Homo-oligomer: A and B are copies of this chain.
């Protein structure tokens, strides 16, 4: 089991995908899941589909691979605070964040009624198929949805279980645990606000959309994906208040830049590279900052077209093209690119002066800024 192996020297080429770290995170997840599967199957063999679905969701092969971004930021936050490179407990704690992310994805897909996740059926669809394929009684869709609620809940509980039992000294866990709980509250708040955005009716011409989109990015992405994981890793290694603050000041702009790049890729990304259909976000009707910026500056006619077509059922390639034109015309992409540059500068400046104790960590985090802001997928 890879957790038992000694860690080779870290590859810093592209740390987000650093194979050595990902292998260790996967090893920690594998060990943990094996224990939970033992518990579940001892209760009843009928829990087999739950075990199988969770294992495949977390460890099954995926065409686009897995970034394990949150685990990576947690681990490098640990290293930057002086934590040992091959400390299995830190890797296990970092892996717990991937259980949280899996829970969020399972529940997100259910809330959005998404049929797929990374090109494979979403969890509620898998259980719906299990129900249909088995010729069971009752409503297959309801069974699928209910199963996904339970699987997401299990993953949320297991995030705690793995984090609490990661193997680091109890004081380390105790220091970091409140931030893990805050991080989870923040991301759920961000998800609710994100969901509210397209639903709520806002006062005509009110200018709050851009601000609200920023709040969603801050809580649903920046804090959740970068800032809190970094700070969690730091606290596990007893980071100073200065370093924790520096991680905060570095993680927020980097996390926002990462999300803004994601938003641009969601509209202009090359399907061959992103692995997602062209204009995916437009089809899903996501109310990103890019969309808010467009609405804040485009003509009334363009605004109407955007509101009509964004997320419209059966939006075709032509519709996607028309939406792209509206967004491009508005100049919003340019402004978003400028903001990414500014955020990148801000992150790099903070990083340069951060009281990071391990040079390699600073170097890896610097490269993460490049990976996050210049990536094409």
Contacts and interface: CB of A to CB of B under 8 A. Distances in A.
A192 B149 contact: no
Contact of A153 (B142, B152, B193): B152
Interface stretch (A44-52, A225-233, A237-245, A288-296): A44-52
Contact of A135 (B110, B154, B171, B201): B201
Interface stretch (A19-27, A175-183, A331-339): A175-183
Contact of A193 (B44, B143, B158): B44
A40 B170 contact: no
A46 B135 CA distance: 44
Interface stretch (A68-76, A84-92, A160-168, A276-284): A160-168
Interface size class, chain A: 35 or more
A185 B157 contact: yes
A146 to B, nearest CB: 4
Contacts of A4: none
A150 B165 CA distance: 26
A116 interface: no
Contact of A149 (B107, B135, B177, B200): B107
A70 to B, nearest CB: 16
B149 A110 contact: yes
Contact of A147 (B39, B134, B195, B215): B195
A157 B170 contact: no
Interface in A34-70: 36, 39-40, 43-44, 46-47, 50
Nearest to A164: B177
Contacts of A191: 150
A219 interface: yes
Contact of A43 (B153, B195, B198, B219): B219
A369 to B, nearest CB: 26
Interface string A180-222: 0110111011111101101111000000000010010001000
A156 interface: yes
A131 interface: yes
B199 A44 contact: no
A178 B138 CA distance: 36
A47 B137 contact: no
Contacts of A212: 44
A212 B43 CA distance: 11
Interface string A253-279: 000000000000000000000000000
Contacts of A352: none
A346 B112 CA distance: 49
Contacts of A165: 178
Interface of A: 36, 39-40, 43-44, 46-47, 50, 103, 107, 110-113, 131, 134-138, 142-143, 145-147, 149-150, 152-154, 156-158, 160-161, 164-165, 170-171, 174, 177-178, 181-182, 184-186, 188-193, 195-196, 198-201, 212, 215, 219
Top 7 A-B pairs, shortest CB-CB distance: A111-B146, A161-B181, A136-B199, A157-B184, A43-B189, A138-B199, A107-B149
8 contacts: A43-B190, A43-B219, A44-B212, A46-B192, A50-B189, A156-B156, A157-B188, A161-B185
Given A156-B157, A164-B181, 20 more contacts: A36-B185, A43-B215, A44-B215, A50-B189, A50-B192, A111-B150, A112-B146, A131-B199, A134-B200, A134-B201, A135-B201, A136-B201, A137-B198, A137-B200, A138-B198, A150-B192, A153-B156, A157-B181, A158-B181, A165-B178
